[in-house]
A and B are shown apart, each in its own frame.
Chain A
Amino acid sequence: MKSILTTGLAAIVLAAVTAGPVLAQGTLQKVKDRGQLVCGVNTGIAGFSAPDDKGNWSGLDVDLCRAVAAAIFKDPAKVKFVPLTAKERFTALQSGEIDVLSRNTTWTMSRDTSAGMNFAGINYYDGQGFMVNKALGVKSAKELSGASICVQTGTTTELNVADYFRQQGMTYKPVVIEKLPETLAAYNAGRCDVFTSDASQLYATRLTLGSPADHIVLPEVISKEPLGPAVRQGDAQWGNIVRWVLFALINAEEFAITQENVDKMKDSTNPEVKRLLGSEGDFGKGVGLDSDWAYQAIKAVGNYGESFERNVGQGSRLKISRGQNALWRDGGLQYAPPIR
């Protein structure tokens, strides 16, 4: 409550007083002057953005911020992470409190057009699913009529559930709670039969429950949830930086450039690799950065595939398969335009 009112007030004051200057000066220049990138992330969701016991953030969304910081400062450590709840996130971006929102946020039309922000790409293709306790004996979401459903407030999830049940002609009882830990605790205590969220979150949160094996994720995926980083509207250069850093990571995977071999790859004879790593042409200029911008980003976090496997894939506890997030040539949806 306090936080939302504070954020609201901050939004009013900032929108009223400082929005002008923020726009007048480019975000890139502002970030450079400040000496660090301010990145809005999730308050804690394993694999996407979560702090460890020493306060170091890691995750797929966090890696993107580090890559952007590396592209700008040649130092992936120059990021300040601002943990945000689902309902604080847009206000924080609109008001200029953060430079980029990398917080498993679904790209929707209204958010992209009338909420003062633009999405820079998709770093995770997700979809909404349902998790239930095995003991209920439910095999399909179609059997859920009459169930109580725990959902976190301020998400597209809340609306998708309503749509899905209305479409199926089923009823349900919502239990809507502000923060993920309390939502999960309520689910765990049996307050609701179902916990619903993006499938990636379901897998991540299942690990935090007492005995993960007691819970299953139902096969139905009821929505498209393309998750990606967002920036403020009205600063095309800044949007380009975030977009192309993401594309650079995806392209790097395509050319098999890894965190380890990136130095060697600089001498590659492949012109596409040369252009990406800045040994040929000067593509950094177009986004206001040095020519080694992509090299720095890849050096910092590895290519998209590496980042994926390390944070949510086989190298992590989540063990999520690449699925839709594989490169297009491997049957997935990740596809980055060429650098030329």
Chain B
Amino acid sequence: MVKMHTARDGARHTVPARPRRGLRDLAYDPTTRGIVLQVLLVLALLALGAEIVSNALTNLEKQNIASGFGFLERTAGFDISQTLIDYANTSSYGRAFWVGLLNTLLVAGLGILISTVIGFVIGMARLSSNWLIARLAGVYVEILRNIPPLLMLFAIYFAVLKSLPLPRDSLTLPLSSYLNVRGLTIPKPIWLDGIGIVVAALVASVIAALALKGWAARRRAATGHGFPAVGIGLALVAAAPAIAWVMTGFPVAFDMPQMGRFNVTGGLTLLPEFVALLVGLSLYTAAFIAEIVRAGIAGVAKGQKEAAAALGLSRRQAMRLVVVPQAMRIIIPPLTNQYLNLTKNSSLAVAIGYPDLVHVFAGTVLNQTSQAIEVIAITMAVYLLLSVVTSLLMNWFNARMALVER
């Protein structure tokens, strides 16, 4: 960023300001010329885009293929195995789109969290002074990043299916939960009146704990006096919702799973497809994140560690206070790429039957409506939007972590 500024400023300075400029001068003015060329280019691109759209529309009409987005209102007529919002086969295609999108977001969001945790652990382990740990981490990275993700999903999915018992021989777990090849079924909480108060208490206590921590840090910086903010904060977060819980009279009921003729009915089921996809994506992406973390830590100058040791910091403190904060600056930009990859790879769900956006929308909906252009355009726009949002968030995070230049 810094370099670009100087370059642009430099360019501006090279244009000598003249009192009167004719048309001829204007034509040779680099700034004007640049603007004119760019405007022309944008216009040409727009014209090309309009041409493609109108040509496609004409040809679709000629071939008698339906077009337009009216299909989103029509009844879908198919069922989806995992729905985070209310959905039935009488819902519309538009509703099916949201179901698919939420499923994608769920698996991508959780995948990002899990792969980051595993990636950081493995990345640090690769730098461990313990020979065995470092080698094991190395083996993990080399194996997992060299297997195509689709193959890994198949392997995990069928390994999961093969190792779980059939519904008749379901494993009975505590709390009336059942585990079988159809998934893990747990009692489904049904929230009653008053749950809002509990949630509000939780949110308020978290905010209060964070504020407390901030105040304690500022006081420590100003006066040097410590304050047990972490302990008190945790106690606050635990106590406030619990009190609200008791006072509102436990506002929750449970839909208990029961053995039915074919399978466990009722309850909340964690599908094996979801677990396979989540585990597969997380393990795969973690291998890349581990390498990024290792590179980031290795990229911090050795002198930093030595200086930290000279100041009397323990190895742990040196890592936490000196090395990792500097390493993060190297780690975050490539980390963004991995998050984007994971989100996009989640579309492999279609192969193992997890109802993500591509499966539900670019699969079943496309096939029922035959409107490939509209459906694919919407799907691509959604992935683009997801990528842009992820990038923006990570850029903001990166800016926060970046070296503050004074």
CA distance A184 to B358 in the complex (A): 21
Question: Is B77 touching A159 in the complex (CB atoms < 8 A)?
Answer: yes
CA distance A267 to B274 in the complex (A): 66
Flag whether B78 is at the interface (Cβ < 8 A).
yes
Flag whether A19 is at the interface (Cβ < 8 A).
yes
**In the complex, number of A-B residue pairs with CB atoms less than 8 Å apart:** 171
Question: Is A146 touching B261 in the complex (CB atoms < 8 A)?
Answer: yes
Flag whether B368 is at the interface (Cβ < 8 A).
yes
B364 touches which of A1, A153, A191 (Cβ 8 Å): A153
Question: Is A175 touching B60 in the complex (CB atoms < 8 A)?
Answer: no
Question: Is B65 touching A16 in the complex (CB atoms < 8 A)?
Answer: no
B262 touches which of A146, A158, A182 (Cβ 8 Å): A146
**Which of A7-15, A239-247, A295-303, A306-314 contacts its partner?**
A7-15
Flag whether B295 is at the interface (Cβ < 8 A).
no
B81 proximity list for chain A (CB < 8 A): 173-176
Also in contact, A15 and B59, with CB within 8 A (given A87-B367, A158-B78): yes
Query: Closest approach, in angstroms, between the C-beta of B372 and any C-beta of chain A?
Result: 5
CA distance A173 to B364 in the complex (A): 16
CA distance A174 to B63 in the complex (A): 34
Query: Closest approach, in angstroms, between the C-beta of B92 and any C-beta of chain A?
Result: 14
Flag whether A126 is at the interface (Cβ < 8 A).
no
CA distance A7 to B260 in the complex (A): 42
B291 proximity list for chain A (CB < 8 A): none
The number of chain B residues touching the other chain, given as a range, is: 35 or more
A109 proximity list for chain B (CB < 8 A): none
A213 proximity list for chain B (CB < 8 A): none
A176 proximity list for chain B (CB < 8 A): 80-81, 353, 355, 359, 364
B52 proximity list for chain A (CB < 8 A): 16
Flag whether B79 is at the interface (Cβ < 8 A).
yes
Query: Closest approach, in angstroms, between the C-beta of B394 and any C-beta of chain A?
Result: 24
Residue among A17, A115, A161, A176 with the most chain B CB within 10 A? A176
B63 touches which of A86, A91, A94, A158 (Cβ 8 Å): A94
CA distance A76 to B125 in the complex (A): 63
Contact with A along B361-389 (1 / 0, CB 8 A): 01110111010110111011000000000
Question: Is B353 touching A177 in the complex (CB atoms < 8 A)?
Answer: yes
Q: Which A residues from 117 to 139 make CB contacts under 8 A with B?
A: 136
Question: Is A153 touching B359 in the complex (CB atoms < 8 A)?
Answer: yes
Also in contact, A19 and B59, with CB within 8 A (given A115-B65, A148-B262, A158-B364): yes
Flag whether B398 is at the interface (Cβ < 8 A).
no
Flag whether A286 is at the interface (Cβ < 8 A).
no
**Which of B33-41, B236-244, B315-323, B344-352 contacts its partner?**
B344-352
Query: Closest approach, in angstroms, between the C-beta of B64 and any C-beta of chain A?
Result: 5
CA distance A147 to B379 in the complex (A): 31
A116 proximity list for chain B (CB < 8 A): 60, 63-65, 370
Flag whether A270 is at the interface (Cβ < 8 A).
no
B362 proximity list for chain A (CB < 8 A): 4-5, 8
Also in contact, A159 and B56, with CB within 8 A (given A1-B350, A23-B62, A190-B161): no
What 15 new A-B contacts, CB under 8 Å, besides A23-B59, A115-B65, A234-B63?
A: A8-B375, A16-B56, A23-B63, A87-B363, A94-B63, A110-B370, A114-B64, A114-B66, A116-B63, A146-B263, A147-B263, A153-B367, A163-B77, A175-B353, A182-B352
